[in-house]
Structure 1
Amino acid sequence: MSGERVIGGYALRRVLGRGGMGEVHLATTPTGGLAAVKVIHPELARDPAFRRRFEREVAAARRVARFCTAPVLDAGLDGDVAYLVTEYVKGPDLAQAVREQGPLSGSDLEALAVGIATALGAIHGAGVVHRDLKPSNVLLSPLGPRVIDFGIAQLVDADSLASQAILGTPAFMAPEQVRGEPLGPAADVYAWGGVIAFAGTGRLPFGGGAPAEVLYRIVNEGPRLDGLDEGLRDVVERAMAKEPRGRPTAQQLLASLMGGTHLTPATATQVVERTWTGPRGLAGPVDGAFLRGAGPVDGASVRSAGPVDGASVRSAHGISASVQGPPDVSGTALVTPAAHASGQIAPSASGDVWDAAVPSASGRNALSDGGSPQARGGVARRRWPWVAAIVVAVAAVVVGPVVVPRMWEGRPYTAGFGDSWATGASDGGDARVTGSDYVLTAKPGWRLWKSAPAREPDGGVVVSAKARREQGSGEYGVWCHGSASSGDRYEFGVSGSGQVTIVKRRTGQKGTPLYGPAAAKVSAGTNRIVAECADVGSGGGKVGLRMWVNERLVAEVSDASDPLGSGEAGVYAAPDAKEALRVRFESFATDRTKD
């Protein structure tokens, strides 16, 4: 794959979409999967204020749980370029699906409502306000809806940019957003109501026309909800109350949708996945299998997550200047309070056109009393027929295996541990091949580390191993940029107590911690550990170090203090008590960081 551009260790394969803030690319990850990488324009990334805001908002986005969302997996600054990596969600967006196949109905519409409410609960639980929930930010995967573009939303903060300007899509703005007031989670609940109304009727809840006219209707009129199922309409009406305090929270919204049943986000996600059938004839599974997090393939609709400073990077399904039929309402407007007062609406930073020729609508909604879902009636006392069966079924669900592409096929080196790996006893312990596995038993007070019988590729390496602790306590993992003769190496370790570390070691010196110990989701059984040692810049002046455990990025740091160069890689075990530590390595592989 020569000629590919590599940013932050991600090899960009092709452009999926462009916008005023940058481009979205299909990319190969360091571990061999695929992801959507949003690359921000260099002129923005060079701005120190933007860089600070970008880092702060990405940190917030990464706290969002994965329930019914496309989570942010990674982000960083690579020279003059800021980039954001999101999990792949295969499928069309809701705007495209409605445009091409008409409104959703029945269990799909209900699952959509539950799924988006679940996603909002996860987003708000991380202290994030989406601020731009709309049909084009809901992808319809084979397993259900996934909310995107919360990735760089502002934290809930009265002093945030959200309180100084109106950022969002006119058709789905809350009244307080139109008025330029501080935004909270209630603004997202309002947008949820508008999205569900659009999904179930094919109409914008406040009609089309000039954006200023739509904004006026949002503040002064009620949404047009005729055509929605009566029970669902009741929930949407309460979600679209004019005053934020009159709307349910995302959790109350979910309870109302489930007929008063309070489900955990994980169970609600399973309910959606077991109920969802999805749009027909659009983007479906690949070879009959959904590759969760593996990345898009040719022809798939892909969006990365996260409006940056109020402007979205568009995918191939972005808005056009002319809309036929139910509109793809993905335009983003930046409207200051002064501009709204004068009736002038500024175009978005991306230059997209918001144009939807849909008849206007009227009809006021009733304000909620702000009480519990049960106190307000409606579906709070009604259980949708599909809910009871699905909730019972979920208790016995065994989710089928997720098909993931092989990560190391055709790469420079994959271990068969019988192939020249060192075996036998030593002062530090014992190494032996057992079947197809490699077992290290390290003595107390020693670090037992072994080299793979192949040198690292030049320019940087990704090392992968699957291992499990069988006896004792301590840490184990992989190392790279090392030398069996000198003892130099970067160690990437996990421990039974759920800690991860990156340590630089040199012969005769105490190890230098570069990251951790820090808590991570470490399995009590087998863990997949992936480490990257990437030479950064020319002259070997810095090495970028990243670590994944069970496909999650858990650590990222760099070493610019006399960094280690390419050499050998391998595995190690180190007990932390008086008992020996035995670790079984089931696989080992190395790969170059660039093709």
Structure 2
Amino acid sequence: MGDSLLEALRRDESYSVVKILAEKASGSTELVSSPGAKELYVRKRIPVEIANRAAWVQLARISDRYLPRVIETYELPDWFVVVCEYVEGYSLAESVDCAGKLDAARAAGILEGVCRAAGVLHGYDIVHRDISPSNVIVAADGAHLIDLGIARVGDTRSRHDTTKLGTWGFAAPEQYGFAQTDARSDVYSIGSLAAYMLTGIRPGEEGFEQAVAGLPTEVRACIDRACSFEPSARCQSAAEFLRAFRAACVGQADPALAGAHIEPAITDRVPDRLEPRKGFLISFAEIADAWAASSIAKRLATAALLFCAAAFCWGLFLGTFKAFVRSGAASGLIGLIFTLSLSWVILETLLMNLKAGPYARASSRFLTLLKRGGIPFAIGFIACFVIALIEKLILAVLAP
């Protein structure tokens, strides 16, 4: 056991974090690099209590162009860790947010990749359980289904899922405890995904029902069937839904669907933040990425710490100003340097808490804090000492 844990820790430390992609209840997702490898990988940490090891054993056997390849898995005391192939592209959510709703031909092309990937999973008795816009990557070679963090192997012995996970609006009703999930649960999610692409609005958001009602009758009926509350009323497979969707769209005089294939998403207006920034300063984009990836609890804690730090630094600044007025320029300068040095350390501590910039990529965030915060503070402290020493020497020389 001890040797296997040491080996898992060694493997975990061999990767360097490039960027934190997400942090949520079902685990964290990181973009990582490995020494000697040109490719980037995705490392997902899943809490051991919800990790479905049987599903990952099956996933490691799958090789399909529409699904990320599993590189390795290992287990830490609190985490089940999976390293997967990184699929370069933009999420369907980013593409729709940027370019708006999609036409039927483009939607069918993306559904072709999603349904193919779901069908492969279902062939291994695996239910994805989180088919949503954020988990569909639109690349130059097609649409890929990613993030299998809550995937599970079907279990006919259970009456309902033991964990209630998924993306609101796209997760099937049975994922909230009504029944056991199976391939038809993913069909529900794919139907919701189709509605999202054709309307540009997420299920549950204002205007969604009206937008779906405005779709062609055959298309709306196809989506309504896929999103039926009762699983037996839905299309019974992803392939069946894709055929029905294509037929419904062709029935609406859309000949482009006759041979529709995946088209590259309109991504030239989506900012690329995957490349790590070089240099000492942390960009606002990196801070924004870290903030977006943080949990609500971490955001509230960071905001509270920032308020307290700002009040503390303001008090130090006022004290520095008083020292300048009462004791002269040297004392004021010492106070100013000390205040700036301490403020820098506080700021770096907040950035470490958010895992922003280099703190997301470092193997040891504490050592990174010592380097980025401790060294400037030490330089400031030495500067204060030198100024105080020079002041004493000058006073000694000028003394009568």
Q: Report if TM-score (shorter chain) is over 0.5.
A: yes
Alignment match of 2:212 (pick from 225, 240, 253): 225
Q: Which amino acid aligns with 2:179?
A: E
Residue 12, structure 1, aligned to residue 10, structure 2: no
Tell me which residue corresponds to 2:320: none
Counterparts in 2 of 1:253 and 1:23: CA distance versus 1, 3 Å: closer
Deviates more, 1:118-127 or 1:165-174: 165-174
Kindly name which structure, 1 or 2, has the bigger radius of gyration based on alpha carbons: 2
SS in 2 for 1:140: strand
* CA shift for structure 1 position 91: 1.7
Give 1:146-545 correspondences, 5 Å limit.
146-159=144-157, 163-207=161-205, 225-248=212-235, 249-259=237-247, 274-282=261-269, 298=275
Counterparts in 2 of 1:276 and 1:157: CA distance versus 1, 3 Å: same
Deviates more, 1:141-150 or 1:58-67: 58-67
Instruction: Compute the RMSD of aligned alpha carbons.
Output: 4.0
Q: Find the aligned partners of 2:16 and 2:44 in 1 and give their Cα distance.
A: 10
Alignment match of 1:35 (pick from 23, 38, 41): 41
Q: Which is richer in helix?
A: 2
Counterparts in 2 of 1:165 and 1:297: CA distance versus 1, 3 Å: closer
SS in 2 for 1:66: coil
- Residues 396-425 of structure 1 show CA distances to partners (whole Å, capped at 9, x for unaligned) of xxxxxxxxxxxxxxxxxxxxxxxxxxxxxx
Q: Which amino acid aligns with 1:252?
A: E
Tell me which residue corresponds to 1:112: 110
Counterparts in 2 of 1:181 and 1:161: CA distance versus 1, 3 Å: closer
- Residues 127-167 of structure 1 show CA distances to partners (whole Å, capped at 9, x for unaligned) of 11111211111111122211112244111014569523432
* CA shift for structure 1 position 98: 1.6
- Residues 173-231 of structure 1 show CA distances to partners (whole Å, capped at 9, x for unaligned) of 2233345311111111011111110111012233359xxxx9xxxxxxx8962344555
Q: Which amino acid aligns with 1:240?
A: C
Counterparts in 2 of 1:85 and 1:257: CA distance versus 1, 3 Å: same
SS in 2 for 1:116: helix
Instruction: State, as a whole percentage, how many aligned pairs show the same letter.
Output: 24
Q: Find the aligned partners of 2:15 and 2:43 in 1 and give their Cα distance.
A: 9
Alignment match of 1:26 (pick from 4, 15, 32): 32
Q: Find the aligned partners of 2:298 and 2:109 in 1 and give their Cα distance.
A: 32
Q: Which is richer in strand?
A: 1
Tell me which residue corresponds to 1:123: 121
State the aligned residue count: 269
The 8 Å contact of residues 6 and 12 in structure 1, kept in 2 or not, is answered as no
Q: Find the aligned partners of 1:11 and 1:179 in 2 and give their Cα distance.
A: 37
SS in 2 for 1:170: coil
* CA shift for structure 1 position 103: 1.1
Q: Find the aligned partners of 2:77 and 2:11 in 1 and give their Cα distance.
A: 9
Q: Find the aligned partners of 2:36 and 2:151 in 1 and give their Cα distance.
A: 27
SS in 1 for 2:111: helix
Counterparts in 2 of 1:233 and 1:72: CA distance versus 1, 3 Å: farther
Q: Which amino acid aligns with 2:96?
A: V
SS in 1 for 2:152: coil
Q: Find the aligned partners of 2:159 and 2:72 in 1 and give their Cα distance.
A: 24
Q: Which amino acid aligns with 2:228?
A: A
Query: TM-score when scaled to structure 1?
Result: 0.39
SS in 1 for 2:242: helix
- Residues 463-493 of structure 1 show CA distances to partners (whole Å, capped at 9, x for unaligned) of xxxxxxxxxxxxxxxxxxxxxxxxxxxxxxx
Q: Find the aligned partners of 2:59 and 2:38 in 1 and give their Cα distance.
A: 24
Counterparts in 2 of 1:237 and 1:37: CA distance versus 1, 3 Å: same
SS in 2 for 1:68: coil
SS in 2 for 1:73: strand
SS in 2 for 1:188: helix
Counterparts in 2 of 1:282 and 1:139: CA distance versus 1, 3 Å: farther
- Residues 293-336 of structure 1 show CA distances to partners (whole Å, capped at 9, x for unaligned) of xxx9518xxxxxxxxxxxxxxx9599689xxxxxxxxx9xxxxx
Point out where structure 2 has 5 or more consecutive residues left out of the alignment. 1-8, 249-258, 277-287, 301-400
Q: Find the aligned partners of 1:149 and 1:97 in 2 and give their Cα distance.
A: 18
Q: Find the aligned partners of 1:11 and 1:117 in 2 and give their Cα distance.
A: 32
SS in 2 for 1:17: strand
* CA shift for structure 1 position 69: 2.2
The 8 Å contact of residues 123 and 150 in structure 1, kept in 2 or not, is answered as no
SS in 2 for 1:172: coil
SS in 2 for 1:225: helix
Query: TM-score when scaled to structure 2?
Result: 0.56
SS in 1 for 2:212: coil
The 8 Å contact of residues 129 and 154 in structure 1, kept in 2 or not, is answered as yes
